[in-house]
Each structure stands twice: as C-alpha cells, then as structure tokens.
Structure 1
C-alpha cells in the first residue's frame, strides 16, 4: 500500500488531538459497564434473575414481574410482558421483534421494519411524533431514543398518563449496545432463550470474520458522515467506526476525550496530512443530496485529488441499511461487506 507507514501512524496520533473541534454528542447511559465485544454468553438460558446476568451494571434487577435497568434518566423499572407497545425508533423496533415481541405502533419509514410490523399504526417522523395519537392508543410501554430530544420531552406526558417508558441508548459502541439491549428486551419478554441462541450465533459469525483478517496488514481509513447540511468525521465508537476498529482498521481520528461523542468536525488539512488508505462515506438523508454536500464541502477542495485513496480508487459510499441503520441480526453481513472493501486480498473470490 504505502511504504511510509511509520510516518503515517505518527501523524494519526497527532491528529487524534488536533482533529478535535466542535463535536456531535449523543446522550448515552451514564456509568454503565460495556463488557467486551463477543462476551461469553454460555449461561443457562432457563435461569432468570441477576445470578445469570452478563450485564449487571445495565440490567440491575429482574423479578417475576418487573425488570429494572440503568438509563440516562437513572433507574427505570418496567413491567414484564407488556401487551401494547409503541416503539419510536425503528432499529429498536427491529430488535424488539428479534427478542420475540410485537408492537402496536411505530414511526414512519421502511428501513429496519420487520414484515410483521409493516402495517401497524405509524405515529409520524422520529423527531415529530404525534403525542396525542400516541397517548390515545393507551400503550403499556413506550420505547424511545435518548438521542432525540423531542422524544425525551414526552416523558412528563407519559408519566401523567400512567404509561411506562424506556429511554434507550445505542449510538456509542453500537455492536456492544446491540448485545446489551437484546438481553434487556428478552428479559422483559421472558425469552432468554432467544438472547443466548441468537447472540451466540451472531457473535460467532462476527468473530470468524475478524479472525480472517487478524494477520493482514492493517489499513488506515477516514470515515466521513455526510448529511444534507454538513460533513463530519466518525470516530472509532460510531456504528461504522466500531466495526472498522474491530476489523483492525486504523481510524485516523480514533478517539477524543469527550463522553458521548461519535463524530467531530471534518478537516481537509488533517485528512491530507494523514493520507489514509481508504475513504469510507456514510450518508443520512437523501443520498443524492448527501453526495452534493460531499462534492461541495470535500471534493471541490483542490487537495482532495492529492489523496492516495482518491488516486487509487479507494473511496466508497457505504449502504445505509448496514452502516447508517443498526444492522442487528445482519451484523455478520455488515462486517463481511466492510471486510471486502478494506481487505480485498483476504476476501478475494467471496
């Protein structure tokens, strides 16, 4: 690839500090323990309660009737086996169904929607929920996202109407969060068997993919996040950043000392200094308009053409369904697709 790898790595270490300017912060669970990725889960799936709990600092207590977990709002207790559930983030909707649950309402959209949930009530966009419609449904439980302030603003209304709610976090280290949240959901639904069976299969497949590249030369990459309004650089704890990190890819902005941050402002100067092997681009919103933003903010800069990744054709737009929306059960597919891009010699012929 590039011969001067040592100089490149020195530049990356310098950039870990100098890249930091303004940042994008998502609310996350405070003080919770993040067990290692692919943590051993070979406990007895028929047991319940804390003695068999792989995430004791997240799922705090399980009784015959309730489950208590630690959220960004503090300890939350919900009743097991709710009958009427509204879910205000489709990645959690997908995970809830994966855990054996069903829902009566969701937000608009077609991604991360299980077939069985296609025709349930739609409550509007994720940041513009019809609160009146939601309350009128008289749900037993509302599952919401801590990263969307308008959803968090509903909490007093839900409390006033005696509706249980779950503020969920998953934007930081999403692969780990996927495992923890699936465990939480299966505890609420009394389907521990699903957790131990499904997580074991998914993590085993991911580990096989990771093992394929463990002896390969580790490439460097920048992961650009493009919306219709801005371009940022993703960190190693974002959705794509975490998967790249687990595959051994060296992110040119691996971490910053700001809790809850998974993106920082983009700098062409620092990008040119590091000259990564790959440029990976994720998009949120209309893809064509996101590409226009990339063209305007990035490609139009004369320095763009000097990048090795550009000159050697290693710039990739990543598919939303795997790298913007949480892939959940499709994590092995996402890891494979990323592996094919950054380790083409390892995955040749697949």
Structure 2
C-alpha cells in the first residue's frame, strides 16, 4: 500500500503540474482539477473560497487577504484582523471579492456554486484555479503545486513528505496481519444515517489499514442501510463521522443503528467497538494532520480493546 501511495503521488504530479523554470518573473503553470491551464506569477493578493484550502495555502507559505467564514468558524484559523471574510463556501460574495482586486483565487471543484462563480471572476480578469482533495495523495499534490508557486519547497517536505513518511510507517504495521477486521463506516446527520464506501476520505484510510468495509461486499447498503445485510456481514467495528450539529447526528445514529434491538448481537455492538470520529480529523480535511488521522484509526482497529 505504501508503494501504491508513492506511485499515485508521482503520477499525479506528472499529470497536474509543470513549472516554467526559465521565466524571470517566476511564473508557474499547472493544470487544475477541472482541466484548466493556469499560470501564476508571484501572487500577493490571494483569496481562498474554502477553509481547508486556505489552510493548505498557509501551510505552503502563503497569506490570504480574504477567505470564507469556515476558515474561522470551523478550522479555527488565526489569520489576523486584516483578513476579510467574503461569505460562505456555498455563497461567496462575488462583488466583495472583485472589489478586493485579487491576483489569484483558489476554489473547490466539488462546490457547484464556486464553479459558477469562477465564470464571473474570470470575466473580471481574475486568475482562478480549482482543486479537489478527498484523499491524502490529493492534498500532497495540491501542496506540491502551491509550494511551487510560493517557492517554499521546504514546507512541502515539512507539511507533505514528512507526513507521508509517517503514514507509510503506520500502514506498514498492518502488512503482516493475517486477518482483516470487518467494519461498517457510517456518516450520521441530524436527519438520517448513511453507509459510506472505500472512495470516501475515511473509507480510503480504513482500506489502507487493511479493514474490510462491508459496503464493498454488500454495495446495496450504500443506497439503503439494510439491517438484515448488516446482521449477515456482522461487522467487528462501527465507525461514525458526523455532519451538522454533532449531538443531533449522534442521537440519530443511536436511534437508527446503535440501539436497534435487531443489531445488538453483532460483534461491533456486543464488544463495544463503536467509534465516533472527531470532525477535525475525519470530517474536515486534516491536511498536515493526516498522519494523526491514520494513527487514530490504527489504534481503534488494532490496539483499543
């Protein structure tokens, strides 16, 4: 698995980023997550429309003049009183953004309103780039591009390659294990609970750690959380991440799954192997804390009894 991460990372760098080393203006050209060709030259007035990406830009040695409110309210970033808040991730204030005269705007390819917003920003002559981060290799690729822009490759090592080394070390501890634990990974909301697969951020980490997600055996539970199939699969562990108000989401998970009388005999509930995952490591993108996320899951799977 460690080799897979290395190969994936190498392939993404080859396909996504190309620098112009001979340019006296230190310009840098790359292809963003939506296939757009982007060229930047020492951007000094940067705006990020997603808190996770704001943090990644800072980890790459950059500063922002404005960002969305999730950088403060969710990620608790201390950006200084002079940094403007320009709305939310789904409803950025385009008029305010344009008035700040940015020379580079960082957007999320996963948010439809930001894809639409980019058209307005481009018409105003503002340089934009989209990124998409779901797994650690995506973060590593983004950090590589951003540190090429800032010229701080020392921070690529500190906040990227050094983290990768820690992750590889954690994963390597599972390679000689004979048995793979069965897991049920759920995402809980105040209004319901859904099963998530290996393509999810947490699902991918569980797979890296040699856990068998029962949704890969019974993919129908991704659409409909079937109690009978959960009983048949008999997961050894249940992992739950939450969206929205945490206490309400946990209450919904308890009502739907954890206190369901039909499920009291499955291994995970019988042995109290139920883990509520914190948002900082498992809902928001952990960025430079990604190794911590792997370590938490490893301990839950193999060390906590």
**TM-score (structure 1 length as normaliser):** 0.76
What whole-Å deviation, never above 9, does each CA across 1:234-266 have from its counterpart, x for those lacking one? Answer: 211211111111111111123999xxxxx7553
Q: How does 1:303-322 map to 2 (within 5 A)?
A: 303-322=262-281
Which residue number in structure 2 is paired with residue 75 of structure 1? 36
Which residue number in structure 2 is paired with residue 235 of structure 1? 197
3-state SS of the aligned residue for 2:121? helix
Mapped pair 1:195 → 2:179: no
What whole-Å deviation, never above 9, does each CA across 1:33-61 have from its counterpart, x for those lacking one? Answer: xx9314599xxxxxxxxxx9971111145
Which residue number in structure 2 is paired with residue 8 of structure 1? none
Q: In 2, Cα distance between the equivalents of 1:328 and 1:280?
A: 21
Q: In 2, Cα distance between the equivalents of 1:135 and 1:100?
A: 24
Q: How does 1:1-350 map to 2 (within 5 A)?
A: 36-38=4-6, 55-63=13-21, 64=23, 65-109=26-70, 110-116=73-79, 120-171=83-134, 174-216=135-177, 217-254=179-216, 265-299=224-258, 301-344=260-303
3-state SS of the aligned residue for 1:36? helix
Q: In 2, Cα distance between the equivalents of 1:80 and 1:307?
A: 57
Q: In 2, Cα distance between the equivalents of 1:319 and 1:57?
A: 34
Does the aligned pair in 1 maintain the 2:258–2:269 contact within 8 Å?
no
What whole-Å deviation, never above 9, does each CA across 1:136-169 have from its counterpart, x for those lacking one? Answer: 1111111111111111110121011111111111
Q: In 2, Cα distance between the equivalents of 1:149 and 1:54?
A: 24
Q: In 2, Cα distance between the equivalents of 1:154 and 1:308?
A: 48
Q: In 2, Cα distance between the equivalents of 1:281 and 1:202?
A: 24
Does the aligned pair in 2 maintain the 1:85–1:103 contact within 8 Å?
yes
Q: In 2, Cα distance between the equivalents of 1:264 and 1:133?
A: 40
3-state SS of the aligned residue for 1:69? strand
What whole-Å deviation, never above 9, does each CA across 1:11-34 have from its counterpart, x for those lacking one? Answer: xxxxxxxxxxxxxxxxxxxxxxxx
Structure 1 residues 227 and 211, CA gap change in structure 2 (3 angstroms): same
Q: In 1, Cα distance between the equivalents of 2:267 and 2:173?
A: 26
What whole-Å deviation, never above 9, does each CA across 1:100-123 have from its counterpart, x for those lacking one? Answer: 111011111333344335762112
Q: In 1, Cα distance between the equivalents of 2:215 and 2:232?
A: 12
Structure 1 residues 60 and 205, CA gap change in structure 2 (3 angstroms): same
Aligned residues between the structures: 295
Q: In 2, Cα distance between the equivalents of 1:177 and 1:67?
A: 19
Runs of 4+ in 1 over 6 A off after TM superposition: none
User: Which deviates further from its counterpart, 88-97 or 227-236?
Assistant: 227-236
Q: In 2, Cα distance between the equivalents of 1:255 and 1:123?
A: 44
Structure of greater relative contact order (alpha carbons < 8 Å, 6+ residues apart): 1
3-state SS of the aligned residue for 1:55? helix
Alignment RMSD, CA only? 2.7
Structure 1 residues 108 and 317, CA gap change in structure 2 (3 angstroms): same
Deviation, 1:332, is 1.7
3-state SS of the aligned residue for 2:87? coil
**TM-score (structure 2 length as normaliser):** 0.87
Does the aligned pair in 1 maintain the 2:32–2:38 contact within 8 Å?
no
Structure 1 residues 55 and 36, CA gap change in structure 2 (3 angstroms): farther
